[in-house]
Structure 1
Amino acid sequence: MRRYRLLDLIIDLDRQTVERDGIRLDVAGLSFRLLACLVEHGDRVVTFDELIDAVWAPAVVNEETITQRVRLLRQALGDDARAPRYVRTVRSRGYQLGAPVVPDLIEHGKRRFTLWPALAAVGVLAAAAFGASFLAREQKPAPSAEQQILDRAHWYARMGQRDNNERALALYDRALHEAPDDVEALSGASRTRAARTCLYNGSIDDARDALRIAGRAVSVGSESAVAWSALGYARDCLGDIGGAIAAYEAAVRLDPADDATRSSAAYLYQEQGRLADALHANLSMQGDPARVRYRDVQLAREYELLGFTTQAGQRYKQVFDLAPDNVFGNIGWPAYLFARGRFDEARAAIAAARQRDTARPELPLLEGELALRRGDKDAASNAFAEAHALRPEASLPETLSLLYAARPIAGEALQQRVVATRKALANDPWPASRFELVWLLQAAGDHRGAIAALDDAVAMGWRDAGYLRASPLFAPIAADPGFQDVIGSIERRTRAERERVLEAKWCPADLPCDRESRASALLQDTVP
């Protein structure tokens, strides 16, 4: 029998019945088929198109039809759309269950429950993947109260919004209060704290706490892939690229099926300029790639940096249109348009992303650059100030807010900031951090030093020549032959990575991997 429990509901897919406390609810026809479709997809968001195909096909219906049917289903279940328990709306995408669903097995009149096994919470740019399907019929002992807390924490952490991250963190801390050395709870508590810093503009102290807790998780469970992945995420959020990669790779060695952690490592390979390695890692998923939340954005970025700009644009646009809650998709598409010189489209995309409550400093920073391009210095100043307010502990937005303030930083204050920035960069592995020094040296009139700092960024892994060409922030040195040398260095390095991809056995089908097409592919420019 295919019977499942969703909170206090018993859903029998074979008999097409829904019960609560032994009382059958009036859920039938299209309403039951809709609920059954959600149950069969487990924790995954079921898109409007998938629902149409599974519930209504071959009839032709629209999203409004689905919305009305969900309303009827909620009425039958006694669910409240304002605070849903059973069916959750995912804006502009579709619907998903509001809680984990588990098989409900009956044997000799006694009911036993199998636990839907869970693994890790979100990665840096990736959501957690749950290792086993809830449809598995093997019987397991009823979960303990502590395990139920952890399962619910995993559920909230996987959703990805700020408020759900806080709910997950509170549950992980509650679990740790009962079992201070539980590796699963330690790892989850670390991840949700690091997510405060990485995803939700929280204090750097949260990431430091996350690192401490993850270190404890690894010391308790040195063979736990979940613990090593949490350690990688904490180091990632603190800017330790090398340490994060080492921890991520340790996690993948322990659990090769951990696609979320593999994708997190891929992002850092990309930052180091290892574009072929990054693309290969993101194409090597062992489970369902759709369950790795930010993988599609990473693939688009890798395609863009490798010079496959048409394919990159298609991927960015698809994520932007179909996943409005994907924070990095909301940043990636406007940034792609900007680097391609499509400034009006970039401005419109930023406006749309802002309506989606994408409270990240990248958007106002890009707005500031667009304002500078059209000569609106006041708007640029306001935008950079907003970016600084969103992430007050980040140095780069603060520098731009100082350089483009009504009274820009100058003289001795400027020189002191140059010195302080050089000192800070001595231990900073992120290539784009060098831009801050570039802009300060430009303002100080040291164009030779600015180009040297830009060259350092390229040596460390920066590969986006399109952005350097498009950004007005580099205007003071753009005509310098040294600037063109930097662009040429990026293109040579990128060409070598692109050749690696086109020659690889794993070269993706949407790229010109055959020998006849390769020569023309290598001549592709990185900008139109």
Structure 2
Amino acid sequence: MPSRFRLHDLTIDLARQRVDRDSSPLDVQGLSFRLLACLVERGDRVVGFDELMETVWAPAVVNEETVTQRVRLLRQSLGDDARAPRYIRTVRGRGYQLGEPPIAIDDTATNRRLSPWPALAAVLLLAAVALGAGFLAREQKKPVTGPQQELLERARWYAAMGQRDNNERALALYDRALRQSPDDIAALTGASRARAARTCLYNHGADDARDALRLAERATGLRSDDAVAWSALGYARDCLGDARGAIAAYERAVRLDPNDDATRSSAAYLYQEMGRLADALQANLDMRGDPSKVRYREVQIAREYELMGFMAQAEAHYRHAFDLAPDNVFANIAWPAFLFAQQRFDEAAAAIAEARQRGVSRAELEQLDGEIALHKGNRDTATRYFRQALALRPQSSVAKTLADLYASAQVDTAWVGTRIAQFKSTQIDNPWPASRLELAVLSLAIDDRQGAVSALSDAADLGWRDARYLQASPLFRSLSGDPSFQRVLDTMRRRADADRMRVLTAKWCPSELPCSM
């Protein structure tokens, strides 16, 4: 079968996995290219959902919505319009087909154009032989892959897919590898990360993260110089809310392996949450490899821009991540949260609805929808959303607080008092700034405005910088106009502005910002 095809003004090279328009490459990679290749290989035939899922995604298990989202991304990359398609047509109820039959390109003619001189062709042939010989020599030196390595490779493949079901498949394989070899570092760290992901990404309780911590501690005990083990330890601590312990483990991993961009970005996220905005941005910009391979980096950069007041740049990155990474859990949360803080409530609600259609089920989205309902005066609707948030994350303290507070029109002051006492006895040493927002909500429920402002001031001291959210949320509406509340907001803005100036005057200031260097 030919390897190069013409489709309208596109040149599609299946062997090199490349798409060009007028000799300029387009950003069509990974699953998007595999989807396009599948359609090209079938000519002008209609390709059904089952065939696409089997050819492009197998052995991963996906649904028709995943296929639809990937077609949308491919169309965006090609500049195609679903309403007037040139390249990919939707055949209702059946699947997809190319807009016209692809035309095979004569590779022989192409090779003659690229190699006009026989001597040059000989040199290229010798170079190809030498390159092939070197590759074969390296391959012959590689050890034969045994059953354990094959098991771990398949587990890593599933884990990299970034979806709940595939995380479970990865975990099952890692556990199987551990049963065969309990001290295998790769199996220990892989099982640790998959268990922590259950807690951090997929609404499981803290027990999974505790198991993850135990596995990672065993791995670092066996190999104290293993960067991957320290990264897994950081992730487990991260998912348990131990921000300082997580930062220490992440930083040790990066010292052991300075090329570990993913772990560097994980540390950057925690810098961001602790109010170290310039440090977070610098770490996210200091990538040693391909930044696009760091899964949540763009969302983090958008958040750092937002908190430092670079709103246009923040919006561009949030929207890009939301549009081009429909399976990115945090992109599906961050974009509507950004719109909410901008008081663009209808747009936020629409983004939440789209995230749900993509299969994202997160307590954060339910809480946002509840706050939007409160803003619109729909208390009953808000109560329903807060209950759904609690159902998704029964172990979440803030979800329980909101669900119980809004369960009745009458505030149970005794319950609130007990809840505040419990919070102060169990959460007072919690380093996460957002934890103090829950205490502020409880204080406002019993009209303790001074207690609420004190809690928000503590949040600012711990690193909370999102003054816009506090102004937008109906949870804090009763503080509007309170001078002490305004002073807390001013403190947050002033500290964020200090980081903003540090970025603008830094040598590493990104070119998309109005740098002063």
TM-score of the two chains, using structure 1 as the length reference? 0.78
Q: How far 1:456 moved relative to its partner?
A: 0.5
Taking the aligned partners of 2:347 and 2:395, their CA distance within structure 1 comes to 31
Report SS of the residue matched to 1:366.
helix
User: What are the superposed Cα offsets for residues 460-499 of structure 1, whole Å, 9 maximum, x if unpaired?
Assistant: 0000011111111001222211110111100111111111
Gaps of 5+ in 1: 1-25, 39-49, 96-105, 115-135, 516-528
Residue in structure 2 matched with residue 82 of structure 1 by the alignment: 53
1:350 to 338, 346, 352: 352
Q: How far 1:53 moved relative to its partner?
A: 4.8
Taking the aligned partners of 1:337 and 1:315, their CA distance within structure 2 comes to 13
Residue in structure 1 matched with residue 194 of structure 2 by the alignment: 192
1:229 to 228, 231, 256: 231
Residue in structure 1 matched with residue 298 of structure 2 by the alignment: 296
User: What are the superposed Cα offsets for residues 315-355 of structure 1, whole Å, 9 maximum, x if unpaired?
Assistant: 11111111111111111111111111212211211111111
Q: How far 1:30 moved relative to its partner?
A: 3.5
Residue in structure 1 matched with residue 91 of structure 2 by the alignment: none
- Of 187-196 and 442-451, deviating more is 442-451
Identify if the C-alpha distance between structure 1 residues 425 and 259 changes in structure 2 by more than 3 Å, giving closer, same or farther: same
Taking the aligned partners of 1:159 and 1:473, their CA distance within structure 2 comes to 37
Q: How far 1:446 moved relative to its partner?
A: 1.0
Q: Is contact 1:232-1:245 (8 Å) kept?
A: yes
- 2:11 is the counterpart of 1:36: no
Identify if the C-alpha distance between structure 1 residues 28 and 283 changes in structure 2 by more than 3 Å, giving closer, same or farther: closer
Q: Is contact 2:35-2:52 (8 Å) kept?
A: no
Residue in structure 2 matched with residue 464 of structure 1 by the alignment: 466
User: What are the superposed Cα offsets for residues 122-175 of structure 1, whole Å, 9 maximum, x if unpaired?
Assistant: xxxxxxxxxxxxxx8784222222111111111111110001111111111111
Residue in structure 1 matched with residue 489 of structure 2 by the alignment: 487
User: What are the superposed Cα offsets for residues 40-59 of structure 1, whole Å, 9 maximum, x if unpaired?
Assistant: xxxxxxxxxx645599979x
Report SS of the residue matched to 2:54.
coil
Residue in structure 2 matched with residue 93 of structure 1 by the alignment: 73
Taking the aligned partners of 1:64 and 1:251, their CA distance within structure 2 comes to 33
- Of 358-367 and 225-234, deviating more is 358-367
Report SS of the residue matched to 2:304.
helix
Q: Is contact 1:304-1:312 (8 Å) kept?
A: yes
- 2:275 is the counterpart of 1:273: yes
Identify if the C-alpha distance between structure 1 residues 257 and 440 changes in structure 2 by more than 3 Å, giving closer, same or farther: same
Q: Which amino acid aligns with 2:286?
A: S
Identify if the C-alpha distance between structure 1 residues 401 and 468 changes in structure 2 by more than 3 Å, giving closer, same or farther: same
Residue in structure 2 matched with residue 100 of structure 1 by the alignment: none
Taking the aligned partners of 1:220 and 1:450, their CA distance within structure 2 comes to 47
| Matches for 1:304-315 after TM superposition, within 5 Å | 304-315=306-317
The structure having more radius of gyration, on CA atoms, is 2
Identify if the C-alpha distance between structure 1 residues 514 and 155 changes in structure 2 by more than 3 Å, giving closer, same or farther: same
Residue in structure 2 matched with residue 432 of structure 1 by the alignment: 434
Identify if the C-alpha distance between structure 1 residues 169 and 53 changes in structure 2 by more than 3 Å, giving closer, same or farther: farther
Q: How far 1:185 moved relative to its partner?
A: 0.8
- Of 361-370 and 239-248, deviating more is 361-370
Q: Is contact 1:30-1:69 (8 Å) kept?
A: no
Identify if the C-alpha distance between structure 1 residues 69 and 505 changes in structure 2 by more than 3 Å, giving closer, same or farther: closer
Taking the aligned partners of 1:169 and 1:254, their CA distance within structure 2 comes to 26
Q: How far 1:424 moved relative to its partner?
A: 2.1
Q: Is contact 1:210-1:234 (8 Å) kept?
A: yes
Taking the aligned partners of 2:472 and 2:481, their CA distance within structure 1 comes to 13
Taking the aligned partners of 1:165 and 1:473, their CA distance within structure 2 comes to 35
Residue in structure 1 matched with residue 457 of structure 2 by the alignment: 455
Identify if the C-alpha distance between structure 1 residues 212 and 409 changes in structure 2 by more than 3 Å, giving closer, same or farther: farther
Quote the sequence identity (%).
54
Q: Give RMSD over aligned pairs.
A: 3.2
| Matches for 1:125-524 after TM superposition, within 5 Å | 139-514=141-516
- 2:41 is the counterpart of 1:73: yes
User: What are the superposed Cα offsets for residues 386-411 of structure 1, whole Å, 9 maximum, x if unpaired?
Assistant: 11111110010110111112345412
Q: Is contact 1:303-1:311 (8 Å) kept?
A: yes
- Of 278-287 and 342-351, deviating more is 342-351
Q: How far 1:68 moved relative to its partner?
A: 6.8
User: What are the superposed Cα offsets for residues 207-260 of structure 1, whole Å, 9 maximum, x if unpaired?
Assistant: 000000000000011100000000000000000000000000000000000000
Q: Is contact 2:32-2:73 (8 Å) kept?
A: no
Taking the aligned partners of 2:229 and 2:14, their CA distance within structure 1 comes to 35
Task: Name the structure with the higher helix share.
Answer: 2
Q: Is contact 1:113-1:142 (8 Å) kept?
A: no
Q: Which amino acid aligns with 2:299?
A: V
Taking the aligned partners of 1:30 and 1:174, their CA distance within structure 2 comes to 44
Q: How far 1:368 moved relative to its partner?
A: 0.8
Q: Which amino acid aligns with 1:36?
A: A
Report SS of the residue matched to 1:36.
coil
Taking the aligned partners of 1:54 and 1:256, their CA distance within structure 2 comes to 39
Q: How far 1:280 moved relative to its partner?
A: 0.2
Gaps of 5+ in 2: 61-66, 76-128
Identify if the C-alpha distance between structure 1 residues 411 and 392 changes in structure 2 by more than 3 Å, giving closer, same or farther: same
Q: Is contact 2:12-2:19 (8 Å) kept?
A: no
Taking the aligned partners of 2:232 and 2:394, their CA distance within structure 1 comes to 25
- Of 80-89 and 447-456, deviating more is 80-89
Report SS of the residue matched to 2:15.
helix
Residue in structure 2 matched with residue 518 of structure 1 by the alignment: none
Q: Is contact 1:30-1:55 (8 Å) kept?
A: no
Q: How far 1:72 moved relative to its partner?
A: 5.4
- Of 85-94 and 371-380, deviating more is 85-94
Number of positions where the alignment pairs a residue of Structure 1 with one of Structure 2 = 444
Taking the aligned partners of 2:136 and 2:39, their CA distance within structure 1 comes to 30
Q: Is contact 1:27-1:73 (8 Å) kept?
A: no
Q: Is contact 1:402-1:409 (8 Å) kept?
A: no
Identify if the C-alpha distance between structure 1 residues 358 and 164 changes in structure 2 by more than 3 Å, giving closer, same or farther: same
Q: How far 1:181 moved relative to its partner?
A: 0.5
Identify if the C-alpha distance between structure 1 residues 409 and 189 changes in structure 2 by more than 3 Å, giving closer, same or farther: farther
Identify if the C-alpha distance between structure 1 residues 37 and 352 changes in structure 2 by more than 3 Å, giving closer, same or farther: farther
Taking the aligned partners of 1:355 and 1:375, their CA distance within structure 2 comes to 25
Q: Is contact 1:434-1:454 (8 Å) kept?
A: yes
Identify if the C-alpha distance between structure 1 residues 408 and 421 changes in structure 2 by more than 3 Å, giving closer, same or farther: farther
Residue in structure 2 matched with residue 42 of structure 1 by the alignment: none
Identify if the C-alpha distance between structure 1 residues 84 and 196 changes in structure 2 by more than 3 Å, giving closer, same or farther: farther
Q: Is contact 2:3-2:14 (8 Å) kept?
A: no
Q: How far 1:84 moved relative to its partner?
A: 3.8
Residue in structure 2 matched with residue 123 of structure 1 by the alignment: none
Report SS of the residue matched to 1:81.
helix
Q: Which amino acid aligns with 2:5?
A: L
Taking the aligned partners of 1:65 and 1:153, their CA distance within structure 2 comes to 23
Report SS of the residue matched to 1:233.
helix
Identify if the C-alpha distance between structure 1 residues 30 and 66 changes in structure 2 by more than 3 Å, giving closer, same or farther: farther
